[in-house]
Structure 1
Amino acid sequence: MIEIQKTGVKDGKDVFVYTISNEAGGRMKVTNYGATIMAVEMPDADGAAADVVLGFETPEEYYGDHPFFGATVGRYANRIAGGQFTVGGKDYVIPCNENGVNLLHGGNNSLNRKVWDASAEENTLSLTYHSPDGEDGFPAAVDIRVEMTLTDDNTVRLEYFAEADADTVLSLTNHSYFNLRGEGDIGDHVLKIDAGEYTPVDENLIPTGEIAEVADTPLDFTHPHLIGERIEDPFPQLRLCGGYDHNFVLWGAGFRRAARVEDPQSGRIMEVYTDKPGMQLYTANFVPEMKGKNGVQYGPRTAYCFETQLFPDSMHHDEFPSCILKKGKTYHDVTEYRFSTK
C-alpha cells in the first residue's frame, strides 16, 4: 500500500512524500525530490519499529546542503579525479565539488537536486527523470528510471534503468545512511563483507588503480568484526579517510550477497544484495554534528552506507569495470537491502 502526500513545489514541480507499508511491520518513505529515501522503519527482535536511516522529516529540509542523505546520486556515483573524463574522443571537465580536486556524486546540481516524476502501483514507486544533453556538464541525454519496492518480507529493492542517446559515463547508486539501532555510535555493530579485495586510494581519496587484498588489514571483513574494532588502527588507508570510505571488489558476479550487518542490541539484521561489481563502505566520517529526524544527534560514525556501484574514477583505470553507457544500450542493475531479526 502506498499513501501519497503533496508537500510543496520546487522548481515549478510538485513535491510529494510516498509512504509504502507492508503487513510485516515495515514502512518506507520516499520523496520525488532527489528520488530520496527519507525513512525506513523496521521491527526489532521484539517487534518494536524504529527508523533505521538518517535524514530529515520533510522534503524541504533536503533542499539545502546535506551529505546526500538517502539520495539517488549520479550521473556518476562516487568520485571522478579532477572532474575530467573523455568520451568518444572528446574531453569533458565538470567543476569539482569536493575540496576543489574531485567531482563527487555528479556535482552540486546532480540527480539528488532534481524533482523526479513518479507513479505508484501496489508496493512499488517508479521514479523517472530525463537528464538533457550537457546537464551538469555530462554528455548525452539520458532517461533514468528507479523502481523502489518494499516487499512483504521487509526487503527494500532498488532497480535502476537508463538509456542514452549518445555514449556517456553513468553510474547510479543510493546513498542511504543506515543505523540498525536507529541512532548512536555504530562501533559495536557487527559487519561481514563478501569481498577479498578493495581499491586503495590516494590522499585525495581517488583510487590508485591498484586492486589490493584485504587480508591482514583492518579492511578484512571476510569474517564478522565489530565496525569499531579496528577503525582507529594506524593503517594508512584508514587514516586517509578518517575511518572506512573504501570500494570493495565483491566476490563473484551476478546477483549475490555483498554484506551483512547486525545490531546486537536490537537484534536487527540487514543483508545487502547486488549485481554490481563494487560496494563502498562509508562510516559517515565526514558527517557534521547536526540534528536529524526527531531531534536525533547525527555526526561521524553514527551510520554506515553500503553504496553498491561501479568503481570510483573507473574511466581513468582500464583495469576497472567500464562505466561507459553506449548509445542504444540499456543500463540496468539491482540492489536489495533485506531486513530480518535474530
Structure 2
Amino acid sequence: MTPNPRNNITFDEDEFDKYTDSDTGTIVSVRKFTWRSTSGVSVQVITYGATITSIKMPDKNGVIDDIVMGFDNMQGYLNPLNPYFGATVGRVANRIGFARITIDGQTFHISANLGQHTLHGGLKGFDKVNWNHYVNGNKLVLSYLSKDLEEGFPGDVVSTVTFELTDENRFLYDFKCTSTKPTYVNLTNHSYFNLAGHGSGATEVYKHEISINADSTTEVDKDSIPTGKLLPVSGTIFDLRIPKVLGTVIHMIPGYSGYDHNFCITKGTIQENTFIARAYHPPSGRILEVYSNQPGVQFYTSNSIPEHPNDFKGDKRKLAVLTGKGGARYYKHGSFCFETQNYPDAINHNNFPPAILYPGQLYHHTVEYRLFVEQ
C-alpha cells in the first residue's frame, strides 16, 4: 500500500483473479487497484472490462457498506447473466437500431446482440476484454486497442480511461479515444448503485430520492430504439427535476417495468462538467451526485435482472438467480444506474448531438461521482 504524500489517499495494486481467454486459451491475470481515504471511502477497479467492482462509504452513523453491485471473482464477471456490472461499455454504449451505421455515405453492419439491434458494443464489447494498465501516482490509466472492424466498427480506436479518488471523496474517471478512420464512439460506465448497500434490495432502492437535470427525454419505439423525437418531461413521470421518491413513480412508467430511458441534460455547453443527477437515501444519509460533460444520461432501474421469488408469477424452478459479492442475491429493482453518454443511436439521427469521431479529433468524456453523507 503506497500513501500519496500530497493527500490522505492510499492506493495499492494486487491480483483480483485469473481466467482463461476463450480466443487464445491463455491464462490471464486480472489486476485490481484500490483507493482508500482516511474518511472511510474506498474504491476498487479491475482491469477486466475496466470495471468498478466496489465503492464503500460510511453512513450517517459511521457504518461502512459497499454501494455498487459486483462479484467476488472472475466466475461472476464471466457469467452470461452479468448485466455489465460496473464495466466500461463500448465501443458504443446503449442501442444501435438495426445494427447499422452510416458514416460519410458508407454503411457498416455491426454485430447484433439484441435481436436485430446492437446493445453496448455488440457480442464482445469493451466490457469483455482485459485492459492494459499504467499507474501514475494515485491515478490508474487503463487502455485498450479496438482494431479496425472489431464488431463491425471502422477504424483502429485507442481508448483510455483514467480513474482517481480525491481527498474530497470525489471519484473521477475520464475517457479518451482517438481513431484512424471516421467511426462511432460513445463510452459509459455501467455501475449499479444502491446507497443502502449493494445487497439490500428493492425495498431500500424505492426509498431513494432521485433527481435528474433534464427537461426532455428521447422517445423510443417498442424495442427501445430512439425515433428521433425529443419529448418534454414537464407534467410527466419523467420530470425528475424536482426530487421524487423512486418507489412512488417507478411502477408508473407506461409500457415499462421501471426506468430505462435517456434523459437529455439541461446545460449551456457539453464542454464543461455540469450537474447530471443526484440520489439520496434518507435512512442512511448517503448521497451520490454525478457530474459530466455528456449531453445525456441513461437512467436504468435494473428492470431486466431476475425477479425476487416472492414477486415471480411463473414456475419458480425456472427462475434465474444472480449471486453477487459476499453471497448477496441481486434482484429486479435492487439497484439503479446513471450512465452518462451521448444520446442512444445518435449517429442515425441528424438532430442528436454529433457522434462521429474523425482522425485527428479526441473523444473526451469526463465523469465525477461526489460521495457524501447528510447527518
Bin the TM-score by the shorter chain. over 0.9
SS of 1:211's partner is: strand
Q: Is the 8 A contact 2:76 2:324 kept in 1?
A: no
1:184 aligns with 2:193: no
Q: Structure 1 residue 10: deviation in Å?
A: 4.3
Q: TM-score, normalised by structure 2?
A: 0.87
C-alpha offsets along residues 76-135 of structure 1, whole Å, 9 cap, x if unaligned?
A: 00000111011232211123111x122000012000011100122333211000111111
> In 1, Cα distance between the equivalents of 2:132 and 2:20?
12
Match of 1:327 in 2: 359
Match of 2:117 in 1: 102
- How do 1:226-237 residues align onto structure 2 when only pairs under 5 Å count? 226-233=245-252
Q: Is the 8 A contact 2:53 2:86 kept in 1?
A: yes
Decide which of 277, 290, 293 is 2:322's aligned counterpart. 290
Q: Is the 8 A contact 2:201 2:331 kept in 1?
A: no
The change in CA–CA distance for 1:59 and 1:155 in structure 2 (over 3 A counts) is farther
Match of 2:231 in 1: 212
1:309 aligns with 2:353: no
Q: TM-score, normalised by structure 1?
A: 0.96
Q: Is the 8 A contact 2:302 2:335 kept in 1?
A: yes
Decide which of 39, 49, 72 is 2:88's aligned counterpart. 72
Q: Is the 8 A contact 1:2 1:18 kept in 2?
A: yes
Alignment RMSD: 1.2
Q: Is the 8 A contact 2:49 2:128 kept in 1?
A: yes
- How do 1:110-121 residues align onto structure 2 when only pairs under 5 Å count? 110-121=125-136
Decide which of 45, 57, 70 is 2:60's aligned counterpart. 45
Q: Structure 1 residue 9: deviation in Å?
A: 4.7
> In 2, Cα distance between the equivalents of 1:338 and 1:10?
36
> In 2, Cα distance between the equivalents of 1:163 and 1:35?
18
C-alpha offsets along residues 223-272 of structure 1, whole Å, 9 cap, x if unaligned?
A: 01001212222xxxx23332100101101122111111100111000000
C-alpha offsets along residues 130-175 of structure 1, whole Å, 9 cap, x if unaligned?
A: 1111111110000000001111221111101110011000000000
> In 2, Cα distance between the equivalents of 1:157 and 1:262?
19
Identity %: 39
Q: Structure 1 residue 273: deviation in Å?
A: 0.3
Bigger radius of gyration among the two: 2
> In 1, Cα distance between the equivalents of 2:39 and 2:363?
32
Match of 1:256 in 2: 274
Q: How many residues are paired up?
A: 337
C-alpha offsets along residues 47-103 of structure 1, whole Å, 9 cap, x if unaligned?
A: 2111000010123421222100000000000000111011232211123111x1220
> In 2, Cα distance between the equivalents of 1:105 and 1:62?
16
Match of 1:276 in 2: 294
Which portions of structure 1, spanning 4 or more consecutive aligned residues, are displaced by more than 4 angstroms? none
